[in-house]
Each structure stands twice: as structure tokens, then as C-alpha cells.
Chains A and B, each alone.
Chain A
Amino acid sequence: MIPGEFTYHRPSTVAEAVAILASHGDEARPLAGGHSIIPMMKLRMAAPEHLIDLSGVADLKGIREEGGAIVIGAMTTQHELIASDLLSNKLPIIRETSLLIADPQIRYLGTIGGNVANGDPGNDMPALMQCLNASYKVAGPNGEREIAARDFYEAAYFTALASEELVTAVVIPVPPAGHGFAYEKLKRKVGDYATAAAAVIVTMSGGSVTSCSVALTNVGDTPLFAAETCEILTGSTLDADTVNRAVAAAEAITQPASDGRGPAEYRTKMAGVMLRRALARAAERANG
């Protein structure tokens, strides 16, 4: 349970961090909360020769509202997300999701950047970000760019991020006030990854769905934005028939791994059940 040797860096700016990443390429990895990479290093499943501790980079912290969007610094911890009044008011689904991630100790150190950037299909934030149509601000040696969460994930542990790039912030358009939301996660126990989870944001008016966004966690090798499900639900009154079709469409895009949480068939069905329950809760919360 001992990691391999590495050189430790602790830059104080994003530029410094990027420069170190660029000069070592694949041999360097950023260290955010550490609760994904350090366990892997202890099992010798990852052995970077350089670790770049981002905890000293002040620019990566902070939660602010900016032009209709919430901007969250990549090094914001789950604990800070949960404690944020701004998020509780404007984006309550984030707090609901964070509380379902890992355990109290891990939430003190685990960051939103770490959760979205490494491509682990078990992480909860990626599907949530896809549901929210968030984008990631990314810094690299060639400057900054922004990548939509819905375009970010390619395969398990493979993302659109180049090895010399760093996610610096998550930008989330603020959903309309009175929106309905729910993150429904089935897991074997506290601290486990999802057997299946569904993130839902809806707006309703006069009992009909005016907008709908759905994404699924850990039932594929990436988070799954359920575009067809959204289309089916939009404009409906969430009648049983429409919901059934929407759930079927969501199940159809899943390709879960069979593991200790259950065989693939079970996990697909559970994605459907989580979606149903999330829809029901979100609709109940929505104004209109």
C-alpha cells in the first residue's frame, strides 16, 4: 500500500501549475483532493513521477455568480459546496448531490475539479454537470478554453482534457427560479459509488414540462446525457405513458458494468427506477 516515488510540486498560480504539467507531460498529474489519485498510487495502479499539489493556487478557489452563471473554482471542496448559501439558493441540486458523495472526511478534501476531471464513471458530478449543461474552464500552455460537460467525456478515464491541461473552474448556467430538481442515487452503502443514479432538472408551467434535463451516473463508461428522454418529457404532463417511454429511452442508452453492485441488467433497470423517482421528486419541487 505504498505509492511509488515522485517529485512534489506546490505552485501558487495556475500558470506555474500548467508550466510544470507541460514540461513533464504524461509523467505529471495534478493533485487536487487526492482521494482518487492517492488510493490508485497506493495500489500502484498509477505511478506519476511528478505530482502537482494545487492546494496553494488561490485562483482555483471560490464560488461566485457572474452574468447568469455560477462559477465554481476547481479546488472547491464538496464540504464547501454543501456549505455555500449561494448554491443552496440558486443551484440546490449541487448540495443534494454532494451529500451523497463518499463520506464526511472525503468531502472535506474532495474537490469539484477532481470529481469532474478524471473521467471516473463512478463520480457523481459529471452527470450532474451534463444535466446542468455546465462547461469546464480549462487552462493549458496554449491558453484557456471552455469545454461543455456534454462534450467532455470520451471513455472511462479518457476525457477531452490534454495531459498538459488543467480544469480551473466549472461554469453553470443558473436554472430559472422555481425549477424542480433531484439527484436520486441507489448505492449499497454510504460511501459507495452509484449502482445507478439520475440527475433531473425540470421547469413546469400549468402542470406541463417546459424544459427538462436528465443525465445518468455510473451506468456506462461515461456519464450519460439522456437527450431523447428529455425530448420525450418536454411538453408532457408527466403522464404514466410518457414517463414509461422516457424511462425506456434512458435505459436504452445505458451500458453498465456488471460488478459487485449487480449485473448489467439490474443496473440498467435501476437507472430507470432512479429516473422515475428523481422525476417525481423534481416535479413535486417545481413551481408550476
Chain B
Amino acid sequence: MNDMTPTREQREAALEGMGCKRKRVEDIRFTQGKGNYVDDLKLPGMLFGDFVRSPYAHAKVTKIDASKALELPGVIAVLTAEDLKGVNLAWMPTLAGDVQMVLADGKVLYQNQEVAFVLAEDRYIADDAIQLVEVEYEELPVLVDPFKSMDPDAPVLRPDLEGKTEGAHGPRKHHNHIFTWEVGDADETDKAFREADVTIKELISYHRTHPSPLETCQAVASMDKVTGELTVWGTFQAPHVIRTVASLLSTIPEHKIHVIAPDIGGGFGNKVGAYPGYICAIVASIVTGRPVKWVEDRMENLSTTSFARDYHMTAEIAAKNDGTVTGLKVHVLADHGGFDACADPSKWPAGFFNIVTGSYDFPTAHLAVDGVYTNKAPGGVAYRCSFRVTEAAYCIERAMDILAQKLGMDPADLRIKNFVKPEQFPYHSALGWEYDSGDYHTAMQKAMDTIGYRQLREEQKAKQEAFKRGETREIMGIGVSFFTEIVGAGPSKNCDILGVAMFDSAEIRVHPTGSVISRMGTKSQGQGHETTWAQIIATEIGIPAADIMVEEGNTDTAPYGLGTYGSRSTPVAGAAIALAARKIRNKAQMIAAHMLEVSEYDLEWDVDGFQVKGNPEARKSMKEIAWAAYNAPPPGMEPGLEAVSYYDPPNMTYPFGAYFCVMDIDVDTGVSKIRRFYALDDCGTRINPMIIEGQVHGGLTEGFAIAMGQEIRYDEMGNVMGASFMDFFLPTAVETPHWETDYTVTPSPHHPIGAKGVGESPNVGSVPAFSNAVNDAFGFLGSTHIQMPHDAWRVWQAAKDLGAHG
């Protein structure tokens, strides 16, 4: 071998494939301000639409007078529900099997609900026109407390559901009841509780918050009346689903609808479902034949688009004196707001909350979730929740700490004692999931060793004594969180969105000169797919990632996919990519065999080409094979070199992690300082460690905000509070702690490249760590559970109630 020949290592490095910290392709345009976001789009003749919204949380709409608005020059139209009824769009179906008003139809159910859609020549005139639309309301009694929603005399929120005792998910027991979802073995679990040495029971609330990406939701709809084709650009995490929904609602055939999701400025689950703004923009464009842009402002985003959480979970654990858990009972009261618009797979009204057994081997468990309506914005499934996994993880991680306190056991030790053991995988949980793989003990040990857990506990004990002696006004908390996630929705046997199975797809085409174009059914909103998908392909087919173009979001060219949310892209589309790439490699092998005049069984794959076994000089690179595919394919073989794969995953994947938070709290102000935060994630095979680290940093920052004060609240009149950045806590670089990240690798046995997905794990795992840290700090003063969020004033109040202020 002469020294001009690159070594194997050099050839691998040149691919920038799996495992490489490849710098991002997207950054070239983003750092130059050349991203293409929806509001950057300008089309000739484009109009601007904006909403008149209700100031009341619950009211009849008795009159809408748009006459003054219509007199304003530049105002084209003002749409109301009456106008939409003409095209059967005053209401639209939700992903959760409910219906939602697009515009107020006789009443409104939450503050800022859409009442009328003003269409004008530009956004300035639209805003002026909104001030001139006169709406008359008759206020109705407001219901904001989910615990009162099923009182006998609770106000009727949904007269449209009157008499409907069967909902989309089974029987309804009250006019404000949506569903009851039950899973597990009630009898067996009751028995475990009867026989338990120790039990705990606690109401653990996960407050309402909001994903708040920096770019709000927006769309441009453009109907071409001549061709009958509708094009819609929008902030769509699932553009194909939007297209199918648009076709079903508009009756325009699906092949004549072009949905394009361009660059999206953050999604976090806020941009999965369809919003009234999209529907009204589409209708307005169909009616006028002109493009119509809708861009919501921040207060509209925070107060009306998909909120997150609002789960009130009563958790009970039964255990033996030695800490072995014997049973888990959870009841959830789920506040869904005025409509059930949860973006869940259709058979899962409470998402995958039944992951609530977490990382622990509960022999038996029972779960019941009651969903209810209130006078709040609709939604609930968003914000890196993996379909209610954030809620479930918080519930079990809090409950385990409460159990540890009752038993007088260290919280880490209690967890280790109850971990699912490596030999138990694949593990069948008591609530119905088959966890694919895990090695919890190794991860936990690594984490505890790295942070010096035992020494921290000693330090904490010393500080507690010092506090009692009056030597310090600071208390110290150590928050432990060991979460097991469930992502990668999902297998067609139980996962669908509006009936469309939750597979995903990849199409890869190699050009004659050896570069590649590929399209997937997913849609990145910052996760870096243009970079990482190319890495998978590069390793599989031996073409450098730099020569592989990745496109997402254009529903005409991308194969059908269910989009990006729920950390599903790597588990599902990533698998499709690998499998499509392998189809190409298999064909390439046959072409190479033909070129080398050997049998394909005589060939072996070597980084970027095929070589004859035992005779490595006889090789053909993928580039050479690509050319041959177009020029001289073997007889009987079609020319070309491309493949499509639609992947129906056999199972979900189960990333996990060990997070530790060390916190110091000033009891006189309630201010908490994060001294240290360590996050160990196991997401199986790691495609790009740099991107994984970035995802974890981002998710931890979201979790920090949520746990420490980020909240959407309502007063008794249903006025929404915290719906602007004045009060909605988004930390700046100053408040945000420094993050330490680490990892173990336990591949998924059923995934073609062993990858599990990681995007949401940091939000899932961090909130319990922060909240457990606060609770752990106060435990020695006698508290069992302090509700989130842990704003300074709430922490101060807890300190006061525990007598810490002397």
C-alpha cells in the first residue's frame, strides 16, 4: 500500500458518519440570517389575517358587529363562525377525538378564544381593524378548578356535547367529563396495598405551563383558483398530517394540496396540531384567491395554543419495610381546558402516562386518568413531554422520594433497590409496556461516583445541624431523578394519528456522480436533521455526509411521515433511513459484484466500498458503483440507485438517565441557587454527540424554568396570567445554570442502528431533579411534599410554614 492511499481511519473520518461531532449544515444559513421562516415569506398580493379575541373566559357571544372595521380602508373581510359554517369549518376535529371551535360559535370557552378573523392588506391595518370590531357578550359562570369540574352544579361548558354519554374514549360520567382511562390490575394492586408494611399517598400536581418556542405559530395559505391547488406554508412539526387534515376538511383532493414546513424557530410540541389561525388563513385564501398570512403574537401563543401539563396526580406506593416496592396506584385528574385538543396518538387519551412505573420493578400497578373540561385554553400534550411522560416521571420520582423519606432510606438507595435489573430486559411493566433495554445500575453508579453523592449527603447533614444552630440561613437539597422514558411512537398496532399509523419514512437517491439527495417524513425544528440524517446515510453507504443533501418538510417530495415530536425521529425515521440505505447498499453490492466479476457473496463492505474477501486491492468505491448504476447496471437489473423505506417500528424505545441536582436555598428570600446539575443520559447509539449535548442543555434549561417558576395560571374569573414574557419565566443566560452532561450506551435491540432518541429526556428527567432538590432541602424541617413551581415566594412561604423564619 503506498502512502497516498488513505487509511481506514482516514476514510471513516472523511465520511463524517455515525458518532462524529459533525458541524451543522443548517448553521451556514442561520448564522447569516438566511433562514426561511414562515414570516419571511412574501407573496404578491398577500393579505394579513388576525383575530378578535374574547376578553371573557366563559360567555355567550350575542352580537358581532364588524361594520366599523369593514369601513376602514384596506380591510377586506371579517370572518365569523357564521361564515365558516357555510364551508362546514366553524368547528374542526381535534387529534384527541373531540371537536374545537375555529371561531366562536355562540359562546366562548376561554379567555382570548378566537371570535372573528380580520383580513386586511397589511398587519398594521389588521390591528387597527381588530379594535373596531364590536362584540357583545353575556358572561357565564366560570370554571377554572378541575377539582370542581364534576360537581353536580358545575357550569355546563360544552352544550354541543349535551346528551353525549359516550365520548371518543369511552363513557362520560358528567357534562364536563371527557374520558376515564384505566390500565393495570386494580384487584391485585389493592391486595398489595392491604398487605403492605408501608404505604405513602400524595397529591402531586404538575402545573400548567407552555412550550413557548421563540417563533410563534404562523402560516401562509395560497389558493390558486385557476389550478384548484392550495399551497400552505406553516410552522408544522407534522406537515403530512396537516395536509391530510386540510384535505379532509376542505375537500380539496390531497394531491392538490402542497404543504411546506420551511425553517421552524423551535417547536417543542407547540406546532403539532392545527390551530384556528391555519384554518382561517386557508379559508380566507380560498375565498379571496389571494395568499393570506397569519402570524400570532406572543400573548396569543401563550394563552391559546397548546399548553402543557396541568395534571393532578394522586400517587400511592405500597412497600415492604426494607424498601422493596410492591404496588403502585395512581389517579390523575387531567385539566384539558375548553376542548380536548391533546396531540396524542388516537388510542391514548392520557398519552403514555402508563410509563409511570418508571425505572422500578412494580409487580402490580393500577392507573386511572379522568380528563375534564375547564374554562382554559385547550391542549395539554406539548413541551417535550413524550406524550405525558414528563408528568409520569415527575409523579413516580416525587413519590419515590416521599417513600424514601417515610422509610428513612436514602432516595438513591431506595431507587437502586427497586431498579429493573439488566437480566429482566426486555421488561414487561405492570402497566403494559415492554421496555427494550436498560442498565440502570451502571448508569446510577457512574452518576453517583461522578458527583460524589455520599460526600454530598454528609455535607448536607452538617449543614442541617448548622441551620438548626442558627449558624446559617441556607439549606441544601440534593435532587435525585432516575427516569425511564418511552419514545418512538410508534408501532401501527397501537399508535395512529387520526387513523394514520405512526410509521416514518426515508427516500434516498444516489446521483450518477456519487452524491445523494434524501428526504424524510420528519421535520426538524432545531434538532439538526440535515446534519444527523446524513451521518446515518454516510456510515451505511460510504458516501461522505458533506455529499448528502437532506430535505424535510415539503410534502410533495418527502415520503409520508408523521413528523417530529415525542422524540420519535431517530427511533422511527432513523430506522427508515438506515433500512433504505441498506437497500441501496445491497443493490450496490450486486453492481460491484458484476463490476468485479465475482459473486456478491465474495464481497465484503469496507467503509466506503466493496472489496473482494482476501483481495482488498479488488474493490469498487460507492462513487464508482453509483456511476455504474446509471451506465452499466448488471443485465436484468434496473438502472439507478435509490430506495424508499417506510418503517413501522416493532416497539417503542426506552431511553433513560440519572440526573442529580445540588441546590442551596436562602430561606429568608426563597431564592434557590443551583450549585451543580449533572445529567447522565442513555439514548442508545449516539449519532452526533455534539447535537445530543445541545439537546440536553436545551431540555435541562426548559426543565429548570418549569420547576422554578414558569407557569400559566388562571384567576377565579378565568383571566389568564403569565401570558407574556414579563411574567412567563424564561431564564436568561444569567439565571441558567451550568450543565454537566455524561452518558452510557445501552443500544435498543430492535432498532437497526440501536438508537433510542434523546430530545425530550432532559425535560422529562430534570423537572423531578429540581423539584426533588427543593423538597429534599426542606425534608429535615418536617415537610413531605411542596408543590411546584418553586418560585421564590412559594419557597419562602414553605419555609415560613415550616417555622424556618423563627
Is A–B contact present in the complex under a CB 8 A cutoff? yes
Please give the residue numbers on chain A whose beta carbons come within 8 Å of chain B beta carbons, in ascending order. 1-2, 4-5, 44, 103, 186, 188-192, 195, 259-263, 266, 269-270, 273
Q: Beyond A188-B792, A260-B726: 11 further Cβ-contacts under 8 Å?
A: A2-B127, A2-B128, A4-B128, A5-B128, A103-B732, A186-B792, A188-B791, A189-B729, A191-B732, A260-B721, A262-B792
B residues 85-136 touching A (CB-CB < 8 Å):
123-124, 127-128, 131
Interface string of B14-40 (1 = CB under 8 A from A): 000000000000000000000000000
Would you list 14 pairs from A and B whose C-beta atoms are within 8 A, ordered by A residue? A44-B131, A186-B792, A188-B709, A188-B791, A189-B731, A189-B735, A190-B732, A190-B734, A191-B732, A192-B726, A260-B721, A261-B793, A266-B670, A269-B796
- Establish whether residues A260 and B727, one from each chain, have CB atoms under 8 Å apart when the complex forms: yes
Judge whether B424 is part of the interface by a CB distance below 8 angstroms: no
Which residues from B are CB-within-8-Å of A190?
732, 734-735
Query: B729 to nearest A CB, angstroms?
Result: 7
Which residues from B are CB-within-8-Å of A5?
128
10 A-B pairs with the lowest CB-CB distances in the bound complex, closest first: A262-B793, A2-B127, A260-B727, A266-B793, A190-B734, A1-B297, A190-B732, A2-B124, A189-B735, A273-B668
Judge whether B363 is part of the interface by a CB distance below 8 angstroms: no
Provided the pairs A1-B127, A2-B124 are in contact, do residues A188 and B796 lie with their beta carbons within 8 angstroms?
no
Alpha-carbon separation in the docked complex, A227 to B667 (Å): 29
- Establish whether residues A266 and B797, one from each chain, have CB atoms under 8 Å apart when the complex forms: yes
Which residues from B are CB-within-8-Å of A270?
669
Judge whether B722 is part of the interface by a CB distance below 8 angstroms: yes
Query: B733 to nearest A CB, angstroms?
Result: 8
Which residues from B are CB-within-8-Å of A261?
793
Query: A127 to nearest B CB, angstroms?
Result: 19
- Establish whether residues A195 and B721, one from each chain, have CB atoms under 8 Å apart when the complex forms: no
Closest B residue to A262 by beta carbon equals: B793
Alpha-carbon separation in the docked complex, A186 to B792 (Å): 10
Query: B415 to nearest A CB, angstroms?
Result: 33
Question: What secondary structure prevails in chain A residues at the interface with B?
Answer: loop
- Establish whether residues A189 and B668, one from each chain, have CB atoms under 8 Å apart when the complex forms: no
Alpha-carbon separation in the docked complex, A44 to B297 (Å): 14
Provided the pairs A188-B729, A260-B722, A273-B669 are in contact, do residues A195 and B735 lie with their beta carbons within 8 angstroms?
no
B residues 655-677 touching A (CB-CB < 8 Å):
668-671
Question: What secondary structure prevails in chain B residues at the interface with A?
Answer: loop
Query: B331 to nearest A CB, angstroms?
Result: 30
- Establish whether residues B123 and A2, one from each chain, have CB atoms under 8 Å apart when the complex forms: yes
Query: B120 to nearest A CB, angstroms?
Result: 11
Which residues from B are CB-within-8-Å of A259?
727
Which residues from B are CB-within-8-Å of A103?
732
- Establish whether residues B297 and A189, one from each chain, have CB atoms under 8 Å apart when the complex forms: no
Closest A residue to B794 by beta carbon equals: A262
Which residues from A are CB-within-8-Å of B797?
266
Task: Out of B709, B729, B796, name the residue touching A266 (CB < 8 Å).
Answer: B796
Alpha-carbon separation in the docked complex, A192 to B709 (Å): 14
Query: B672 to nearest A CB, angstroms?
Result: 12
Alpha-carbon separation in the docked complex, A262 to B709 (Å): 11
Task: Out of B124, B669, B735, name the residue touching A186 (CB < 8 Å).
Answer: B669
Which residues from A are CB-within-8-Å of B128?
2, 4-5
Alpha-carbon separation in the docked complex, A273 to B473 (Å): 12
Q: Count chain B CB atoms within 10 A of each CB in A186, A188, A190, A261 and give the residue with the most.
A: A188
Query: B179 to nearest A CB, angstroms?
Result: 33
Alpha-carbon separation in the docked complex, A195 to B792 (Å): 10
Alpha-carbon separation in the docked complex, A5 to B722 (Å): 28
Alpha-carbon separation in the docked complex, A191 to B734 (Å): 10
B residues 48-87 touching A (CB-CB < 8 Å):
none
Query: A209 to nearest B CB, angstroms?
Result: 23
Closest A residue to B298 by beta carbon equals: A1
Interface string of B408-448 (1 = CB under 8 A from A): 00000000000000000000000000000000000000000
- Establish whether residues B131 and A262, one from each chain, have CB atoms under 8 Å apart when the complex forms: no
Provided the pairs A1-B297, A273-B668 are in contact, do residues A262 and B735 lie with their beta carbons within 8 angstroms?
no
Interface string of B641-659 (1 = CB under 8 A from A): 0000000000000000000
Alpha-carbon separation in the docked complex, A189 to B792 (Å): 11
Interface string of B704-733 (1 = CB under 8 A from A): 000001000000000001100011010110
Task: Out of B127, B726, B731, B793, name the residue touching A263 (CB < 8 Å).
Answer: B793
Which residues from B are CB-within-8-Å of A266?
670, 793, 796-797
Alpha-carbon separation in the docked complex, A164 to B619 (Å): 88
Closest A residue to B705 by beta carbon equals: A189
Which residues from A are CB-within-8-Å of B726?
192, 260
Alpha-carbon separation in the docked complex, A55 to B778 (Å): 53
Closest B residue to A193 by beta carbon equals: B726
Which residues from B are CB-within-8-Å of A273?
668-669
Closest B residue to A47 by beta carbon equals: B131
Alpha-carbon separation in the docked complex, A5 to B721 (Å): 29
Alpha-carbon separation in the docked complex, A122 to B801 (Å): 29
Query: B665 to nearest A CB, angstroms?
Result: 14
Alpha-carbon separation in the docked complex, A189 to B791 (Å): 11
Closest A residue to B805 by beta carbon equals: A269
Alpha-carbon separation in the docked complex, A260 to B791 (Å): 9
- Establish whether residues B791 and A262, one from each chain, have CB atoms under 8 Å apart when the complex forms: yes
Which residues from A are CB-within-8-Å of B796?
262, 266, 269
Alpha-carbon separation in the docked complex, A259 to B721 (Å): 9
Interface string of B267-305 (1 = CB under 8 A from A): 000000000000000000000000000000100000000
Alpha-carbon separation in the docked complex, A189 to B708 (Å): 11
Which residues from B are CB-within-8-Å of A262?
791-793, 796
Closest A residue to B728 by beta carbon equals: A260
Alpha-carbon separation in the docked complex, A190 to B734 (Å): 7
Which residues from A are CB-within-8-Å of B297?
1
Alpha-carbon separation in the docked complex, A204 to B297 (Å): 53
Interface string of B228-271 (1 = CB under 8 A from A): 00000000000000000000000000000000000000000000
Which residues from B are CB-within-8-Å of A192?
726
Alpha-carbon separation in the docked complex, A4 to B125 (Å): 10
- Establish whether residues B722 and A189, one from each chain, have CB atoms under 8 Å apart when the complex forms: no
Query: B704 to nearest A CB, angstroms?
Result: 12
Query: B539 to nearest A CB, angstroms?
Result: 43
Alpha-carbon separation in the docked complex, A192 to B793 (Å): 15
Alpha-carbon separation in the docked complex, A218 to B123 (Å): 36
